[in-house]
Amino acid sequence: MADTVIDNNRDEDSILLLLRDAIVQHLPLNDIKLILSCKYVNINGCVRRGLRPIHYAVFENDIEGVRLLVEDYNADVNVLDEAGYSPLHLSAKYGYIEIMHILIDHGSLVNFHIAINDSQTRALIAPFYDVMTEPLSLCLENNHLECASLLLQCGADVNQQYFLGYEINLLSFENHNSLELILKHGANPDALSRSGITPLIKACREGNLGAAILLCRYGANVNYVTRKFRQRNALVTAIESKRSDIVEQLLVYGGFANKHPELYNSPLELAIRKDTIEIVRLLIGI
C-alpha cells in the first residue's frame, strides 16, 4: 500500500514537470491537453517553490494556456507560491492585462490583505499576511498604468497599509502618472509613512516639483508639521533643499510663510541661514 502511494506521488511529480516544460516551451494546446488527460495529474499541484502550472502559464504570458487551465480544468486562480505571489500578482508585475482580465473574471482576489477577514481565504493568506504585496503595488511599481486602472475599477484598495506606510508612501514619485492615478481614486495625500512624513514632505525632500504640485492640487496639507525626529513641514523641507520653485508653489497653495507655532525657527530665518536669496525674496514678497 505504501509503495503504491509513493509510486503515485512520483507519477504525479513527473507529470507536473512534464506539464511545466510543455508550458514553458510553448507547446501546442493539444499537447498540453494530452498531458492534462493523464490519470495522476493534479492541476493545482506544486512543481517547485510553491509554483503551480498556472504560475508558469502566466509568467510565459500564455493567454490561451491560462484560459485552458482556468476554464477547462478549474485551476485555482488564488493559489500562492512560496513568495506569496498569486497568478494575479505575476500578471500585474509584468503588465499582462489580458491575463489579468481572465483571472479576475474567474474569481481572483484583488485585495489579498482584506481576504484575511474571510473564513474561506484566511488560511491561504495568513502565512504571508505581514510580507505580502498587493497586485496594485506591483502595477504601480512597474508603471503598468492600464493594469493598475483595471485593479482600481475592480475595487483595489488604494489606501492599503504596509509596514513602512501606505500605498502612496511607497510609490516612487518619479512617475507622476502613477501618483495622479491613485490620487484620482482616493489615495490620502496626507497619509503618514512609518517615519512620520507626508507624501508632500517626501516630494519636497526629493526636490520633485511635479509631485509636489500634484499633491497640493489634490488637497495635501501644506502646513503639516512632523511629530517624529526633527520637526519640519513641507516649506521648511523645500528651503533645506534650496528649491525656490517648490517654495513658490507651496506659498501659492497656502504655505504659512511666517513662523509656525510648532516650529523652532521661521522659514525666513532658515532661508537666510541657507543663503538662498531667491527664497528670501519669495518669503518677504519682493
In whole angstroms, what is the distance from residue 67 CA to residue 55 CA? 12
In the prediction, which pLDDT does 61 show?
A: 98
Beta-bridged to residue 161, according to DSSP, are 166
Torsion of CA 213, 208, 211, 266, to 10 degrees: -50
Question: What's the Cα-to-Cα distance from 5 to each of 14, 37, 179, rounded to whole Å?
Answer: 14, 20, 54
Helix 176-184 and helix 209-217: axis angle, to 10°? Answer: 10
- Other CB atoms within a 10 A radius of the CB of residue 195 amount to 13
CA–CA distances in Å: residue 58 to residues 76, 89, 167, 268: 13, 10, 25, 56
The residue ranges of every structural domain in the chain are 191-286
Instruction: List, for residues 120-151, the tens digit of each pLDDT value.
Output: 788 888 888 888 999 999 999 999 999 999 99
pLDDT at 120: 78
The Cβ of residue 140 has, within 10 Å, a number of other Cβ atoms equal to: 27
Nine-digit cell string for 218:
489634490
DSSP H helix total and E strand total for the chain: 17, 2
CATH topology for the 191-286 domain: 1.25.40
Give the pLDDT confidence score for residue 119 in this predicted structure.
78
Round to whole Å and give the CA distance between 244 and 59.
46
Task: Give the chain's end-to-end CA distance (angstroms, integer).
Answer: 92
* 212-252 pLDDT, tens digit each: 999 999 999 999 999 876 788 999 999 999 999 999 999 99
Q: What is the full DSSP assignment across 67-127?
A: HIIIIIT---TT---TTS--HHHHHHHHT-HHHHHHHHHTT--S-TTGGGGSTTTHHHHGG
Which of 281, 283, 285, 275 lies closest to 259 in space, CA to CA? 283
In tens digits, the chain (286 residues) has pLDDT values of: 444 444 445 666 889 999 999 999 999 999 999 999 987 789 999 998 999 999 999 999 999 999 999 999 999 999 999 999 999 999 999 999 999 999 999 999 999 998 888 877 888 888 888 889 999 999 999 999 999 999 999 999 999 999 999 999 999 999 999 999 999 999 999 999 999 999 999 999 999 999 999 999 999 999 999 987 678 899 999 999 999 999 999 999 999 888 878 887 889 998 999 999 999 999 988 4
Whole-number average pLDDT of the chain? 91
Q: Return left, alpha or beta for 172; rule: phi > 0 is left, psi -120 to 50 is alpha, else beta.
A: beta
pTM of the model: 0.89
